[in-house]
Amino acid sequence: MRLIVQKYGGTSVGSPERIRHVAERLVATQRQGCRVVAVISAIAGVTDSLLKLARDVSAQPSERELDALLATGEHAATALVAMAVNALGAKAISLTGAQAGVLTDRMHTRAKIANVSPKQIHELLSDEYIVVVAGFQGQTAEGETTTLGRGGSDLTAIALAGALNADACQIYTDVDGVFTCDPRVVPDALKIEGIAYDELLEMAGAGSKVMQSRAVEFAKKFGVAFEVRSSLKPSVGTIAQAETANMEDVVVRGVSVERQQAKVTVTGVPDKPGSASRIFSAVSAANILVDMIVQNASGRNSTDISFTIHAADLPKVEQLLGPVVGDIGARRVSAQSAVAKLSAVGIGMRSHSGVAARLFDCLGRGGINIQLISTSDIKIAVIINEADVDRAAQLAHEAFGLGKQARVRKAP
Ligand code: ASP
Ligand code: MG
């Protein structure tokens, strides 16, 4: 008998109607002859309002108590889903992360899964229960409740699918799947049928926030294939899976954009060991995430270093770097906000040449200036003015033949 893990996010259980709809889907899946495990997130907005409540009563709530509080969001949602299934005349039971056997380390609010022992789930499945598991939470060896970081229900679903050796893992969400670009930016973007884990990671990191990155990394490590699909429509979604040979035939799988970036440049950095370390130690000590880093080839014993951060972090970074620049003997710091990152992603880049040239060519012809460039083996990313980013995405999408028209032309 097939075993299916279905994960439903916060918007999919956002109202009583939607909860009933999820219940119907679970029952229908069981009636097709499957064993069904559901992983449920807190109702949309609940985790945020619990966090707000915590901050309203305490400037610095303890992480242990935060976990105890946040776990209640998923507790409520799973109980409601189980009730809705029972109301349809089928059998369901809700389980906390601990009852489901999700064992984690002790890092409250961002715990890592150490082990999953789904013995109880197996027993309940044999008794024909639909097992409804609270996502995003686990338990330490000492029995303390932990949570897995924001978006952590995705990770629960992948980890359970792996531990149960499930035949399918379906991530139901409010989008239809993973697209070649955000359809709000590029109207003829297409749903991608199959995507490699690494491509999804690069695209998620680049701003298409379909899945928690940690969940995708976990899926890659343990080879758990999963499907991202809509909870509101019956259509199939996008399958994320290990690479197959013919996946490399497509040079670029998708184009993604990330807005609200800022570019910081330190000029006249002395070309000697330790300079870069001083700059980036100062930034990381403030817990600020740096994305792209570019250092120029040096001339006359000094060089320029540029990097990008989220625009919201810019005032802090400028303030931090002021003294550092003096200390290391660099010339000055300059910054520009209102820039954005555009990335073209595809494992096919490993075996095809000319991808960068094609991207730069379409941007150049569109009169779009490139400010920084960085590459990995499956991604080319550029920093451009934020005002240009929609048009840049449309041009790149077309240049790589990703849209609907391109497909029609190729298949006469
Ligand atoms: N409820 C948690 C959050 O909002 C976990 C999740 O939705 O996956 O981050
Ligand atoms: Mg989510």
Q: Which residue has the higher pLDDT, 26 or 244?
A: 26
Q: Phi then psi for 361, rounded to 5 degrees?
A: -65, -45
Q: Which residue has the higher pLDDT, 262 or 245?
A: 262
Q: Is the CB of 78 under 6 A from ligand 1?
A: no
Q: Is the CB of 152 under 6 A from ligand 1?
A: yes
pLDDT the model gives residue 400: 96
User: With pLDDT > 70 as the criterion, what percentage of the chain qualifies?
Assistant: 97
Residue 42 CA, closest ligand 1 atom number:
1
Output the average pLDDT for the chain.
Answer: 94
Which pTM does this prediction carry? 0.89
Structure confidence at residue 134 as a pLDDT band (50, 70, 90): very high
Does pLDDT of 210 surpass 50? yes
Highest mean pLDDT, choosing among 75-84, 210-219, 249-258: 75-84
Pocket test of ligand 1: the residue of 41, 51, 67, 174 to mutate, having most ligand atoms within 8 Å of its CB, is 41
236 Cα: distance to centroid of ligand 2 (angstroms): 19
Structure confidence at residue 411 as a pLDDT band (50, 70, 90): very low
**Domains located in the chain, CATH noted:** 2-174 (3.40.1160.10), 255-410 (3.30.2130.10)
Q: Is the CB of 303 under 6 A from ligand 1?
A: no
What would the 3-class secondary structure string for the chain be?
Answer: CEEEEEEECHHHHCCHHHHHHHHHHHHHHHHCCEEEEEEECCCCCHHHHHHHHHHHHCCCCCHHHHHHHHHHHHHHHHHHHHHHHHHCCCCEEEECCCCCCEEECCCCCCCCEEEECCHHHHHHHHCCCEEEEECCEEECCCCCEEECCCCCHHHHHHHHHHHCCCCEEEEEECCCCCECCCCCCCCCCCECCEEEHHHHHHHHHCCCCCCCHHHHHHHHHHCCCEEEEECCCCCCCEEEECCCHHHHHCCCCEEEEEEEEEEEEEEEEECCCCHHHHHHHHHHHCCCCCCCEEECCCECCEEEEEEEEEHHHHHHHHHHHHHHHHHHCCCEEEEEEEEEEEEEECHHHHCCCCHHHHHHHHHHHCCCCCCEEEEECCEEEEEEEHHHHHHHHHHHHHHCCCCHHHHHHHCC
Pocket test of ligand 1: the residue of 39, 48, 136 to mutate, having most ligand atoms within 8 Å of its CB, is 136
pLDDT the model gives residue 406: 64
Residue 136 CA, closest ligand 1 atom number:
5
Q: Is the CB of 151 under 6 A from ligand 1?
A: yes
For residue range 394-410, what is the model confidence (pLDDT) as tens digits? 999 999 999 876 665 55
Range name among 61-70, 106-115, 241-250 with the lowest pLDDT average: 241-250
pLDDT the model gives residue 208: 56
Mean pLDDT, range 160-185, rounded to an integer: 94
Nearest CA to ligand 1 atom 8: 151
**Six-digit token pair at 77?**
């949602």
Q: Is the CB of 239 under 6 A from ligand 1?
A: no
Structure confidence at residue 412 as a pLDDT band (50, 70, 90): very low
154 Cα: distance to centroid of ligand 2 (angstroms): 7
Q: CB atoms < 10 A from the CB of 66, how many? A: 18
Mean pLDDT, range 95-112, rounded to an integer: 97
Mean pLDDT, range 54-77, rounded to an integer: 97
Does pLDDT of 287 surpass 90? no
For residue range 298-356, what is the model confidence (pLDDT) as tens digits? 888 899 999 999 999 999 999 999 999 999 999 999 999 999 999 999 999 998 989 99
pLDDT the model gives residue 299: 81
pLDDT the model gives residue 248: 84
pLDDT the model gives residue 298: 80
The angle at the Cα of 268, spanning 265 to 272, to the nearest 5 degrees, equals 110
The angle at the Cα of 342, spanning 196 to 255, to the nearest 5 degrees, equals 35
Does pLDDT of 286 surpass 80? yes
Pocket test of ligand 1: the residue of 150, 155, 228, 231 to mutate, having most ligand atoms within 8 Å of its CB, is 150
pLDDT the model gives residue 405: 66
pLDDT the model gives residue 404: 77
User: With pLDDT > 90 as the criterion, what percentage of the chain qualifies?
Assistant: 88
Does pLDDT of 369 surpass 80? yes
